[in-house]
Structure 1
C-alpha cells in the first residue's frame, strides 16, 4: 500500500533494499530519469547500433568457430587426416598410418566429363573407398547405399553427381557420361556431402565415383595432379591421444611431406579466414560505434544545455561542481547501459535467427549459443565509447555559474574542461585502443584502423574550424539570405563542427567502400588484359605433349599456345628453418600453407622481370637453383643466396635462390612463385601445363568446341575455362562484399542518426532565431533560403572532404592491403557525396519546418 512505513526487519534477516537506501547521487539520477528519455533517442540508437554490430559479428563468428570445432570430425571425415599431392603413400608411410588405427582413403582430382554432343564440363572428381563416409551422412536422391550407387553394372561404373552438372550438360539420372574414355552412369544426384568444406573451393560440380573406377580410367599417372587423403579413424581417442599419434607418424615418416589436419582444427585455413573477416567486420562495427559516439557527444551537449538552469540551481543550494558532473554522468551512463543492453540483445540473437531461418541453406556448421566473453567485450566497447564522448560536454557543467540561470539562451558560456575530465577522456580512449589491440587477429591492421580513425576525427575537426574561420573572413553578401547563412556558419553555438564531423565520417566510409567494390570487381572482370588466356589445360602427359600441342594448333589456328612442365611441391624449410617454425606476415603466409605449383625453365618466363641476381646459364642450370617471387621473398626475409627446401613426390630438395623476379600475376598467364633450374628435377615424373589464347578474344562457341574435342581426343587432360574460374571467384567475392556492405550499412545508418541528432541539438537556438526573425518581418521563403544555403554549403564542403579522404583510404586499402591495381572510379562515390548534400539540407530544414508555419507568439512566451 502507498503511504505505509517499512516494517522493521525480523531478527537475523536483512532489511529489504528500498529506493531511499540507494546513494543520493543515484537516487537523484533515477528520479530525474522518471521524466522519460526525451532528447536521448539518437544517443540510444547510436549506442545500440554499434554494440549490436560488434556483438552480432562476434557471436556469429564464435558460433561458426564452435560449429567447426563441434563438427570437426564430420568436416574432416576422420580424427586425423594426412594428404599427399601427386602421389599415393609409400608402403612405409602407409604402414606408419595403419599402426595408429583404421585408415580410409579418398582421392580428389579434376577431370573432364563428356556427354556426347551435349558438350563437356570440368568436374571435381572424388574417388572413395567402401567405408565412405566414416563420419556424417551422405544424402543422395534417390537415397541408397553408396556401394550400390557406385557399383559396376553392364560395363559402366556408377556415379553420384552434383545437380549443377546435370543442369550444365542437360542430363538426368540414368544418363551416361564419359571420363577419360570410361563410361559412367549417373545413378543419383548429390544432396549433401558431409566433408565438403574440407575440400575447399571447387571450379566445377562434384562427381563421386569409386576408387576402382578411378584406377580404371587411367587418370592416376606419375606426375598427374591429384590429392590422396588418408583418413585415420580412432573412435574414443582424446585430443592428447591424437597429438601423440601425430608425433609417432611424424617420427616414422619424417620426409613424407604430407599435410596433416586434426578434428580439433579440421580446416585451419578456413578458421583463419573466419578470424580475419571477423576482425574486419568488427572494425566496421567499431566504426559505427565511434561514429555514433559523435551522436553521443551531441546528445550530451544538448542535455547539458537543457539542464543549465537545473545545474545552476543545484549549485545555488550548495552542490559542488564535481557532484553535479557525477550526477549527470550517472544519468548518461544509465542510458548508455540501456542502449548497450538493447544492442547486446540484438547481437546475441543474430546466430539463433540465422540458424532458425537458414539452417538447411547454410554451407557451414553453425552452433548458436550465448557467448559471454564476446558480449562482455561488445558491452565494454559501448560503455567506454559513451564515457569517452560524454565526459567532455559533461565536464563543462562543473564550472557553470549560478548566473547561468539568467544568462541569455543564445550565448552559453564557453567553459573549459578541467584537467581531471581530460584525464578521464584519455583513460577511456586508452582503454578502447587497448581492447581493440588485445582482441585483434592482426594488431597491425587494428593499429592502422585506429590511427586512421584518429586522423579522420582530427581532420574533420580542422575542416569544421576552417569553415568557421573562413566564414568570418568572407565579405558579407548584400542579400539577406546569403548573409544569414554565412553568419550561421560561424556564430556562437554554430552547428558547423557537429555536422561536418558526423556527415564527413559517413561520406568517407561510403566513398571508401564504393571504390573498393569497384576496383575488386574491375580486377575480376572488366580489367582482364587483352592477352589473357581463354583456356588452361592440366595433366598433359609428357608422352602426349607434342601431339597435344599440334592438336591445339589445328583446333585454334593463329592461337597462342604456351606449355611448361608442372609439379606440385610444399615448402618445408627456408634457410634451414622448418616452415612450421616460421611466422610470416599475413600477406605471405599462404606460400607456406599447403602445396604450390612449381616448374623449371631454361630462360626467364614471360611476364617476369628480374629484380636482383641473375638468371642461370647452361652450366649453372645443372645445379639446384631457384628463382623466387621478389615481393613474397622480401616478406619472408629471403635474398639472393638464401635456400629453399621443397618436398616433391616425397623427397626433400634444397635449392639456392639465384635471383628474385617481379611477376605480373594479372596477366593470368603461366606464372609460378618458384621457378627451378632444369637440373633440380632431372628425371622426376611430371605432367605439362598449357594455355591457349584465341586470336579473337573470348569466343564461347569456339571454347566449348575445343573443350569437347580435347575431352574426346585426350581424355586424361583437364581443361579449365578462365571465364568459369573467374565466375567462381567472383561469386565468392560478391558474397563477401555483400556482407561488408551490410555491416558498413550500420555505420552509415549511425552517421545519419548522428546528423539528425546534430541538427536536433541546435534546434532550440534555431527555433529562437526563426521566431525573432519572423517578428522582424522575415518571410518563410527567405528563412528557408537562408537555411538551405547554410546546410547546402556544409554538405558540399563535407562531401568534398569525404571524396578526398575516401579516395585516399580506398587507394591505400586496394593497393597496400589487397595489392591490386587502383583505378579511380567515382561514379558510386559521387552518388554518395550527392546524397550527403541532399540529406544535410533535408534534415536541416526538417528541424525548422514546423516552426516556420506557426505564429511566433506561443514560442516567444517560452523564452
Structure 2
C-alpha cells in the first residue's frame, strides 16, 4: 500500500488534466444538494430563532366563531401574562365609495408580548390605535389598502359600520406568519373597537386568540398539557413555539427535498461523466499499467494505485461542491428582499453539507469503481494490444460499486420527508436511466444497419454513431435524464399556470359573497341582478345557506381519527362547511346515489364528499351524526359527490336536506361570474344596500397566486437546469475523451480524399442525432412524470406547452450538434502528418 501511495502521489503531481469533467460533474451535483439543504436549514433556523415572536408568545390558544368562556379565560390567565386578539373579515369603504375586503384585527393593550409592530413612519402602535375624540377607532393599515382605495394617513373609512381613522401604515406584525393566509389587507385596531363594531355576534365568522408569555422556567409543552387538562373542549386549538408555523415548515421540507432530488439526479446524470472520465484516464495509463503488470505488479497494487488517485480527486470535487453549496445561501441573502416574510438565519450548517458530501462520495464510488475493476483484471498482453473490451466480472470493485449505488438510494429515502415518494422518485430515475441507456444501445445498432444504404458524410456519421466509442452509449442517457427533469418541471409549471391563469378564471367564480342575511336573500339576489344589468341564471350565480359543523359519529360510533388516512382527516379533525340545498344544484357531480326531491320533508339526508366518506368506510345508507348549531343531527348518507373547490358549483363537503335545519336563521353565501365592470358595480351597490356582506374578489386572488407561482417556478426551473447542465458536461467529457482518436480519424479521412465539409457534416450528424434521441426520449419521460403530478396530486387539467417541448428537443439536438462541430474543428485544425505520427 505504501508503494502504491508513493506512485499515486508521483502521478498526481502532473495535475488534474483529464479529470476536469470528473470534478465538474461531482461538484455540480454536490453543490445543488448542499445549496438546497443549506438554504432550507437557514429558513428553519430563522423560524426556530424567532418562534416566540412568530407565535406572539410561548403559547397561543384559539377559538372559532365564539368567545372564550369565563372558565377558559381564567385558565388562560393563570398560565402567565396574556395578550388578547380578535379577528374578522369586513368590507372597508372609502369616502369615494370604493370598497375592499379587509382582515380586521383587534388587539389588547398588552399586544405584542414578543417582537414589535413596525409602522412605516415609526411610532407606537398603542398610541396610533387609540380612539378619536368622537369615538372613531384609530387604526393602522397596510399600504396596499391605501393604494387600492386612494387613501392617505389621516383619512377616515368605514369598516363594516365601524368608523375608522387611519393613523399609520402597517409594515409588519411579529405574529403574522403564524396566522396563515389572508384574503385582504390588514387593518389593526383596539379589541374594544371590534366589539363595538358588532363583528363578534354569535353566528358570525370570527376568531379569538389568547397569546401567553409563560413565567421563567416553565416549559411550553408542560404548560400546554396542564391547560388541556382544564380546557377539554377539542375545538379550542393550542399551539406552542415548536408548532408556530406548521404550514411553512412543511413547505420548506418539501422544497428542500424536491430541489435536493434534482441535485441527486444531477449526480446520477453526471455519474456517466465520472465513468467516462475514469475510463479515459485509465485508457491513457494503459502502457503504464501494462509495464507494471509485466514487471510483476499484482492486481491489488494496480487497484490501490489508481483508487488512491481517484479518491483524492473525488474528495477534491466533493469539497468544491460543498464550498459552493455552503456559499449559496449567502448569495441568496443578497438577492432576496430585506422584507422577506419568512425569517432566515444564513450561516454554515454542517449537517446538510455532510449529507451532500455523502451523496457525492457514494456517487463517485458507484460510477468510478467499474472501470477500475476492468483495468485491474485485464492481463498485460491485452493492455499492450490496447484491448480493454473485456466484460466486467464480479469482484471487490464491482460489489463495492453496487453497494455504493444502493447506499445512494437508501440515503435518499432516509433523508426524505416522505419515504414512499422518495422511493417512487428514485425508482423513476433508475428506470429512466436504464431506458435511456437501452435506447442509446438501440440507436447504435439501428445506425449500423442504416449505414449500408447511405453514402458520403451521412454514411460516415452513421458509422461513427454505430461504433464502439459512440456518444449515444454515454452522453445520451445523461442528456436525456437532464432534459427529462427539465421537461417535467416545465410541463408541471405550464399546466398549473394555465389552471390558475386560464382555466380557473373561466370555470371558477369571479366573486364570492359571504354574510348574506338569510331573511333578505331574495332582496340580495335582486340587488346583484340590478348591479350586473342582466338576469341571474344557474350558469352565472349560485346562492346557498352556509354554516359550519363537525362529524361526531359515524355508524353510531364515535369517530376514530387514527383509522382514517391522514390526507382525509380534514373532514373529521375540525369544523367543516355545511349547506342545506333542496333541488339538485348545477355542478352537483354525483358519484353514487340520487339527489333528493326539491320538496323533500322526511328524515335528514346527507350528501358528502366522496373521498372523505370512503376514507371513513362510509357507504350509501350509513348513519352520520353532525354537531351543528349546538345540537346533533343524525342523517342518512344518500349521495356521494366530488367537490371541486375551485369550480363553479356547491363546494361544500357536507350538504343536508333543508328541512334538517328548518327554523334556523342561517346566513348565506353566493358565488357569481362577472367581468371587472360588473364586479365594481356590484361592490358599490352592496355597500349601500348590504354593508354587512363581504365581497371577495377571486380574480385578485388568482392574479396574486399566478405571480407567486411564477416566481417559485422560476427557481425550480433553474434548479432543474442543473441536471441538464450535468448532461452537457457528460457530452463534453465524451468529446474530450475521444479528442485524440477523432483527430487521427479526421486526418485519415482527409488523406483518403474527404472534404472538410464531409468530415464536419459526419460529426455534426452523429452528435446531433445523439442530442435528438436524448431530447425526444427525455421529453417523453418528462411527460410521464408530470402527468400524474398534475392530474392526480394537483387535480388540474393536463396541458402540454408545445413551444417549451419543442425548445427542449431542439436545444438538446442543437447543443449536441454544436459540441460535435467544435470537436471536429479542433480535429481539422491539425495537419494530417503530425496527427498520424502521434501514438
What is the match of residue 558 of structure 1? 535
Which string of whole-angstrom CA distances, capped at 9 and with x for unpartnered residues, describes residues 584-623 of structure 1? Answer: 355x465566653332333444312332345457999765
**Deviation (angstroms), 1:774:** 1.9
For the 8 Å contact 1:566–1:687, the answer to whether it is kept is: yes
Unaligned runs of 5+ in 1: 1-21
What is the match of residue 369 of structure 1? 347
Equivalent of 1:474, from 434, 439, 450? 450
Which string of whole-angstrom CA distances, capped at 9 and with x for unpartnered residues, describes residues 481-528 of structure 1? Answer: 111111111122222211211221122122212211110011001123
- Segment drifting more, 792-801 vs 595-604: 595-604
Are 1:320 and 2:301 an aligned pair?
Answer: no
Equivalent of 2:287, from 309, 312, 319? 309
**Deviation (angstroms), 1:683:** 5.6
Mark the CA change 1:569 to 1:327 in structure 2 (over 3 Å): closer, same or farther. farther
For the 8 Å contact 1:79–1:234, the answer to whether it is kept is: yes
Mark the CA change 1:581 to 1:71 in structure 2 (over 3 Å): closer, same or farther. farther
What is the match of residue 500 of structure 1? 476
What is the match of residue 715 of structure 1? 691
SS of equivalent residue, structure 2 residue 650: coil
Mark the CA change 1:246 to 1:603 in structure 2 (over 3 Å): closer, same or farther. farther
**Deviation (angstroms), 1:573:** 7.4
**Deviation (angstroms), 1:544:** 3.4
CA distance in 2, matches of 1:70, 1:641: 52
SS of equivalent residue, structure 2 residue 389: coil
SS of equivalent residue, structure 1 residue 105: strand
SS of equivalent residue, structure 1 residue 828: helix
For the 8 Å contact 1:311–1:400, the answer to whether it is kept is: no
Which string of whole-angstrom CA distances, capped at 9 and with x for unpartnered residues, describes residues 124-160 of structure 1? Answer: 2221111111110101133222222112214322110
For the 8 Å contact 2:286–2:383, the answer to whether it is kept is: yes
Equivalent of 1:771, from 739, 747, 756? 747
- Segment drifting more, 441-450 vs 83-92: 83-92
What is the match of residue 430 of structure 2? 454
What is the match of residue 22 of structure 2? 43
CA distance in 2, matches of 1:196, 1:748: 39
For the 8 Å contact 2:84–2:211, the answer to whether it is kept is: yes
What is the match of residue 266 of structure 2? 288
Are 1:835 and 2:814 an aligned pair?
Answer: no
Equivalent of 2:178, from 188, 198, 215? 198
What is the match of residue 163 of structure 1? 143
CA distance in 2, matches of 1:254, 1:644: 23
CA distance in 1, matches of 2:789, 2:465: 34
Are 1:660 and 2:637 an aligned pair?
Answer: no
Which string of whole-angstrom CA distances, capped at 9 and with x for unpartnered residues, describes residues 315-360 of structure 1? Answer: 1121222331232222212211111111112222333443455472
What is the match of residue 115 of structure 1? 94
CA distance in 1, matches of 2:604, 2:145: 44
Which string of whole-angstrom CA distances, capped at 9 and with x for unpartnered residues, describes residues 426-457 of structure 1? Answer: 21121111111111111121011011011101
Mark the CA change 1:644 to 1:269 in structure 2 (over 3 Å): closer, same or farther. farther
Equivalent of 1:395, from 373, 377, 391? 373
Equivalent of 2:317, from 339, 342, 345? 339
Are 1:855 and 2:831 an aligned pair?
Answer: yes
What is the match of residue 795 of structure 2? 819
After superposition, residues 800-811 of structure 1 pair within 5 angstroms as 800-811=776-787
For the 8 Å contact 2:64–2:205, the answer to whether it is kept is: yes
Equivalent of 1:406, from 381, 384, 392? 384
For the 8 Å contact 1:223–1:685, the answer to whether it is kept is: no
CA distance in 2, matches of 1:505, 1:149: 58
SS of equivalent residue, structure 1 residue 854: coil
CA distance in 2, matches of 1:805, 1:834: 16
CA distance in 1, matches of 2:203, 2:271: 60
Which string of whole-angstrom CA distances, capped at 9 and with x for unpartnered residues, describes residues 181-220 of structure 1? Answer: 3321111001221111112122321111122221222233
Are 1:350 and 2:328 an aligned pair?
Answer: yes
CA distance in 1, matches of 2:168, 2:554: 47
CA distance in 2, matches of 1:741, 1:478: 41
What is the match of residue 81 of structure 2? 102
Mark the CA change 1:621 to 1:792 in structure 2 (over 3 Å): closer, same or farther. farther
- Segment drifting more, 22-31 vs 72-81: 22-31
Which string of whole-angstrom CA distances, capped at 9 and with x for unpartnered residues, describes residues 259-285 of structure 1? Answer: 221112112222122212222222112
Mark the CA change 1:744 to 1:313 in structure 2 (over 3 Å): closer, same or farther. same
CA distance in 1, matches of 2:480, 2:616: 39
Aligned residues: 833
CA distance in 1, matches of 2:36, 2:632: 43
CA distance in 2, matches of 1:486, 1:48: 34
CA distance in 1, matches of 2:319, 2:564: 40
CA distance in 1, matches of 2:295, 2:181: 72
What is the match of residue 669 of structure 1? 649
For the 8 Å contact 2:87–2:103, the answer to whether it is kept is: yes
For the 8 Å contact 2:471–2:767, the answer to whether it is kept is: no
Equivalent of 1:439, from 406, 415, 426? 415
Mark the CA change 1:622 to 1:228 in structure 2 (over 3 Å): closer, same or farther. farther
**Deviation (angstroms), 1:390:** 1.0
SS of equivalent residue, structure 2 residue 109: coil
TM-score with structure 1 setting the length: 0.91
SS of equivalent residue, structure 2 residue 502: coil
**Deviation (angstroms), 1:799:** 2.1
After superposition, residues 450-849 of structure 1 pair within 5 angstroms as 450-474=426-450, 476-477=452-453, 479-528=455-504, 530=506, 532-556=508-532, 557-559=534-536, 560-569=540-549, 581=562, 584-586=565-567, 588=568, 591=571, 595-615=575-595, 626-635=606-615, 637-640=617-620, 657-678=637-658, 686-694=666-674, 698=675, 700-849=676-825
CA distance in 1, matches of 2:51, 2:563: 26
CA RMSD of aligned residues (A): 2.6
For the 8 Å contact 2:583–2:598, the answer to whether it is kept is: no
**Deviation (angstroms), 1:102:** 3.1
Mark the CA change 1:622 to 1:55 in structure 2 (over 3 Å): closer, same or farther. farther
For the 8 Å contact 1:179–1:715, the answer to whether it is kept is: no
**Deviation (angstroms), 1:111:** 1.5
SS of equivalent residue, structure 2 residue 589: strand
**Deviation (angstroms), 1:529:** 6.4
Which string of whole-angstrom CA distances, capped at 9 and with x for unpartnered residues, describes residues 345-389 of structure 1? Answer: 222233344345547232111123333222221111110011111
What is the match of residue 150 of structure 1? 129
Mark the CA change 1:768 to 1:647 in structure 2 (over 3 Å): closer, same or farther. farther
**Deviation (angstroms), 1:685:** 5.8
**Deviation (angstroms), 1:57:** 1.2
- Segment drifting more, 600-609 vs 136-145: 600-609
SS of equivalent residue, structure 1 residue 261: strand
After superposition, residues 22-37 of structure 1 pair within 5 angstroms as 23-37=2-16
TM-score with structure 2 setting the length: 0.93
Mark the CA change 1:469 to 1:591 in structure 2 (over 3 Å): closer, same or farther. farther
SS of equivalent residue, structure 1 residue 808: helix
**Deviation (angstroms), 1:391:** 1.5
Mark the CA change 1:472 to 1:142 in structure 2 (over 3 Å): closer, same or farther. closer
SS of equivalent residue, structure 2 residue 85: strand
For the 8 Å contact 2:318–2:357, the answer to whether it is kept is: yes
What is the match of residue 225 of structure 2? 247
For the 8 Å contact 1:611–1:660, the answer to whether it is kept is: yes
Equivalent of 1:85, from 61, 64, 71? 64
Mark the CA change 1:249 to 1:682 in structure 2 (over 3 Å): closer, same or farther. farther
Mark the CA change 1:384 to 1:256 in structure 2 (over 3 Å): closer, same or farther. closer
What is the match of residue 8 of structure 1? none
SS of equivalent residue, structure 2 residue 277: helix
CA distance in 1, matches of 2:661, 2:145: 38
For the 8 Å contact 2:120–2:171, the answer to whether it is kept is: yes
CA distance in 2, matches of 1:145, 1:707: 34
